[in-house]
Structure 1
Amino acid sequence: MKPMYISQLAFTTGEISPDVSRRFDLDQFKSALLLAENAVIRPYGAVARRQGSEYIGQVKNKDKSTRLFEFTAEKNKSFLLEIGEQYIRVWRNGIYTGIELETPFESDVVDKLNCIQSGDVMFICSGKYPVKTLSRYSDTDWRFDTYKLSEQPYGEVNIDKESTVILNGETLTATKDIFNADMVGSVMQIEHYVKSIATSSIGEVIERREWRIGDRHGGRNTLIGTDYNNINYDVEQFSSDEDLSWKFTSHGTWNGTVKIQISNDGGTTWKDYRVYTSNNDYNVTDTGKVSPSAKLKVVSDLKGGSVNVDLSFLPHVSYGVVEIKEFTDSKHVKVNVLNGVVENEATSKFRFGQWGKGLGYPRVCTFYQDRFILASSNQYPNYIWFSRTGDYSNFGVEKVGGTITDDSAITLPVINRKMYDIRHLIPANDLLILTSGNEWIIDGSKTITPTNCNLRTQTQRGASECEPQYIGNRCVYVQARGCVVRDLGYSYESDNYTGADLTLFVKHLTKYRNFITSAYAQDPDSIVYYVTDDGNIDCLTYIPEQKVYAWSHFTTKGKYKYAESVAEGEQDSLYVIVERDFKSGTVMCIERFEPMYNADNNNVYMDCYIRQTSTENISTITIPHLIGEDVQIVVNGRERPIKEVPPTAIINIDGKAQSVAVGINYTTRLRIPSIEMQIQDGTLQGRVLTMSRLSMNILNSFGGKIGRNFNHMDDISLPPLKLYSGDKACILPKFDGVYSTDASVCIMHEKPYPFNLLSVTREIEIGGGFPNVTGL
Structure 2
Amino acid sequence: MTKASPILSSFNGGEYSPLMEGRTDYAKYPKGLRKAVNFLATTQGPAVRRGGMRFVSEVKNSATRPWLIKFQFNVEQSYALEFGEGYIRFYTNHGQVINGAVPYEIASPYAVADLTNTDGTLALHYAQSADVLYLFHAKYPPQKLSRLGALNWTIAPVDFKGGPFDDENLDKNLYISVATGLGSVQSNFDIFTADHVGTLLYLESKDYSAVPPWQPGKVIAATDQNPYGTLRRVDQRVYMCVTDLTNTEDLPIITGTQTLTHTSGNAWDGDGNPVASVAYKAGVEWQFMHPGYVVLKITDIINARAAHVTIQSDWDVPADVISDDIPGGTWRWAVSRWSNAKGWPDLVTFFRNRLVAARSADQAIDFSVVSDYLNFQDKEFGDVTSDMAISATVAADQEYNALAWMSSADQLLIGGAGGEFACGEQTTNDVFGPDNIKISKQSGYGSRGIDAIAAGNTILYVQKGGRQLMEMQFNIQSNNFDSDDKSVPAEHLMVGGLVQTAFQKETDSILWALRSDGALLSFAYNPKQDVYAWMPQQIGGTGVVVESILVLPAPTLDRSELWAIVRRTIGGQTRRYVEYMERPYRIGDTQASGFYVDAGLTYSGAPATTISGLNHLEGQTVDILSDGAVQPQQVVTAGAVTLHSPGSVVNVGLPCPCRLVTERLEAGATDGTAQGKTKRIMKVVFRFDNSLGGEFGPQDGPYDDLFTRSGNDPMDAPPPLLTGDTERLSFPSGYDFNGVIEYRNDQPVPVTVVAIMPQVVTQDS
User: What is the TM-score with the length of structure 2 in the denominator?
Assistant: 0.86
Aligned partner of 1:533 in structure 2 is 516
Aligned to 2:119: none
Question: Which residue in 2 is equivalent to 1:560?
Answer: 546
Q: Do the aligned residues in 1 keep the contact of 2:14 with 2:36 (CA within 8 Å)?
A: yes
2:581 pairs with 1:581: no
Q: Are 2:758 and 1:762 aligned?
A: yes
Looking at structure 2, the residues matched to 725 and 311 of structure 1 have their Cα atoms a distance apart, in angstroms, of 88
Contact 2:551-2:561 at 8 Å conserved across structures = yes
Partner of residue 227, structure 1 = none
**Shift of residue 346, structure 1, vs aligned partner:** 2.3
Q: Is the 8 A contact 2:30 2:663 kept in 1?
A: no
Alignment match, 2:108 = 103
Q: Is 1:480 the counterpart of 2:427 in the alignment?
A: no
Query: How far off is 1:655 after superposition?
Result: 4.1
Q: Does residue 1:51 correspond to 2:51, yes or no?
A: yes
Q: Give how far 1:697 is off.
A: 0.7
Q: Choose which of 356, 366, 374 in structure 1 pairs with 2:349.
A: 366
Q: What letter corresponds to residue 752 of structure 1 in structure 2? A: P
Distance 1:58 1:349, change over 3 A: same
TM-superposed deviation, 1:188: 1.0
2:421 and 2:606 map into 1 onto residues whose CA distance is 59
Contact 2:346 2:359 in 1 (8 A): yes
Q: 1:109 to 1:181 in 2, by over 3 A?
A: same
For residue 610 of structure 1, report the CA deviation from its aligned partner.
1.1
Q: Distance in 1 between matches of 2:271 and 2:22?
A: 97
1:381-396 to 2 correspondences below 5 Å: 381-396=362-377
Partner of 1:692: 682
2:322 aligned to which of 324, 343, 358: 343
- Alpha-carbon offset, residue 180 of structure 1: 2.2
2:628 alignment partner AA: G
Does the alignment pair 1:191 with 2:204? yes
Give 2:744's match in structure 1, choosing from 745, 748, 753: 748
The structure whose Rg is larger is 1
1:188-245: CA deviation from partner (whole Å, max 9, x where unpaired): 11112463399999999xxxxxxxxxxxxxx959xxxxxxxxx79999xx9x995446
Q: SS in structure 1 opposite 2:28?
A: helix
Distance 1:27 1:67 in 2: 40
Give the superposition deviation at 1:300. Answer: 12
CA distance in 1, matches of 2:82, 2:147: 15
State the Cα RMSD in Å: 3.2
1:639 alignment partner in structure 2: 630
On the 8 A contact 2:54/2:601 being kept in 1, the answer is: yes
Residues 1:177 and 2:190 aligned together: yes
Deviation of 1:656 (Å)? 3.5
Q: Is the aligned partner of 1:69 residue 2:69?
A: yes
- After superposition, the Cα gap between the structure-2 partners of 1:233 and 1:104, relative to the gap in structure 1 and judged at 3 Å, is farther
2:418 to 432, 437, 440: 437
Q: What do residues 334-376 of structure 1 show as CA deviations (whole Å, max 9, x unaligned)?
A: 2223334332142111111101011111111111111111111
Q: Is the 8 A contact 1:618 1:659 kept in 2?
A: no
SS at match of 1:509: helix
Percent of aligned positions that are identical: 24
Cα distance in 1 for residues equivalent to 2:600 and 2:156: 37
Q: Contact 1:13–1:551 at 8 Å: present in 2 too?
A: yes
Report 1:237-386 matches (<5 A). 243-244=237-238, 252=247, 285-286=255-256, 287-295=258-266, 318-339=292-313, 340-341=316-317, 342-344=321-323, 345-376=328-359, 378=361, 381-386=362-367
Query: Aligned in 2, Cα 1:441/1:377: closer, same or farther, shift over 3 Å?
Result: closer
CA drift of 1:622 comes to: 1.9
Q: Deviations over 1:3-35 (max 9, x none)?
A: 321111101111101111121011010211111
Residue of 444, 464, 468 corresponding to 2:448: 464
Residue 509 (structure 1) aligned to one of 482, 493, 504: 493
Rate the CA distance shift 1:233–1:21 in 2: closer, same or farther, 3 A.
farther
- The 5 Å alignment of 1:109-258 reads 109-111=114-116, 112-168=123-179, 169=181, 170-192=183-205, 193=207, 195-196=210-211, 243-244=237-238, 252=247
The residue aligned with 1:489 is 473
Kept in 2, the 8 Å contact 1:245–1:288? The answer is no
> Are 1:704 and 2:694 matched, yes or no?
yes
CA contact (8 A) 1:246 1:288 kept: no
**Is residue 2:409 matched to residue 1:419?**
no
Relative to structure 1, the CA distance from residue 472 to residue 307 in structure 2 (aligned partners, 3 Å threshold; closer, same or farther) is: closer
Match of 1:596 in 2: 584
Listed as ranges, the gaps of 5+ residues in structure 2 are: 99-103, 117-122, 274-279, 710-717
Deviation string, structure 1 residues 381-428 (Cα, Å, up to 9, x no partner): 20110111112111112257x752111110001122222122211011
Structure 1 window deviating more from structure 2 (548-557 vs 241-250): it is 241-250
- Contact conserved, 1:584 with 1:627, CA < 8 A, in 2? no
Q: Is the 8 A contact 1:202 1:308 kept in 2?
A: no
Q: Aligned partner of 1:499: which letter?
A: S
Deviations 1:110-161 (A, max 9, x none): 3311111111211111122222122223333322222222211111111111
Q: Is 1:723 aligned to 2:707, yes or no?
A: no
Structure 1 SS opposite 2:650 = strand
Q: Which segments of 5 or more consecutive residues in structure 1 lack a partner in the other structure? A: 205-218, 222-230, 255-279, 770-776
For the residue of structure 2 that corresponds to 1:7, the secondary structure is: coil
Q: Deviations over 1:475-519 (max 9, x none)?
A: 1111001111110000112212112211111121113x1111111
Change (3 A) 1:655 1:667: closer
Q: How far apart, CA to CA, are the structure 2 residues paired with 1:434 and 1:191? A: 36
Letter in 2 for 1:322: L
Question: How far, CA to CA, are the matches of 2:349 and 2:55 in structure 1?
Answer: 33
Equivalent residue for 1:260? none
Measure the CA separation in 2 of the matches of 1:476 and 1:71: 21
- Given the alignment of the two structures, is residue 499 of structure 1 paired with residue 514 of structure 2, yes or no? no
CA contact (8 A) 2:424 2:437 kept: yes
TM-score by length of 1: 0.85
Quote the offset at 1:729 in angstroms.
3.1
Report SS of the residue matched to 1:505: helix
State the distance in 2 between where 1:64 and 1:234 align. Answer: 64
1:676 pairs, out of 641, 666, 682, with 666
Q: Retained in 2: the 8 A contact 1:113–1:124?
A: yes
Cα deviation 1:658-706 (Å, max 9, x = unaligned): 1122111022111101222444433222222221211111111011110
Retained in 2: the 8 A contact 1:166–1:172?
yes
Say if 1:248 and 1:285, in contact at 8 Å, map to a contact too.
no
Aligned to 1:16: 16
1:616 is displaced (CA, Å) by: 6.1
How far apart are 1:66 and its partner, in Å?
Answer: 1.4
Which of 483-492 and 54-63 deviates more? 54-63
**CA displacement at 1:37 relative to structure 2:** 1.1
| Contact map agreement 1:14 1:32 (CA 8 A) in 2 | yes
Worse overlay, 663-672 or 61-70: 61-70
Counterpart Cα distance in 2 of 1:137 and 1:327: 34
Identify if the C-alpha distance between structure 1 residues 4 and 459 changes in structure 2 by more than 3 Å, giving closer, same or farther.
same
Give the counterpart letter for 2:294 in structure 1. G
What SS does structure 2 have at the residue aligned with 1:420?
A: coil
- Supply the AA of the counterpart residue of 1:670: L
Kept after mapping to 2: 8 A contact 1:242/1:398: no
Provide Cα deviations, 1:548-568, integer angstroms capped at 9, x if missing partner: 101101112211111100012
- Which amino acid is 2:546 matched to? Y
Compared CA separation, residues 656 and 314, structure 1 to 2 (3 A): closer
Q: Distance in 1 between matches of 2:752 and 2:545?
A: 26
Measure the CA separation in 2 of the matches of 1:114 and 1:234. 48
| Structure 1 residues 409 and 11: alpha-carbon distance in aligned structure 2, compared to 1, 3 A threshold | same
Q: Which moved more, 1:610-619 or 1:696-705?
A: 610-619
Structure 2 CA distance for aligned equivalents of residues 167 and 440 of structure 1: 42
- Say if 1:708 and 1:732, in contact at 8 Å, map to a contact too: no
Contact 2:255 / 2:269 at 8 angstroms: preserved in 1?
no
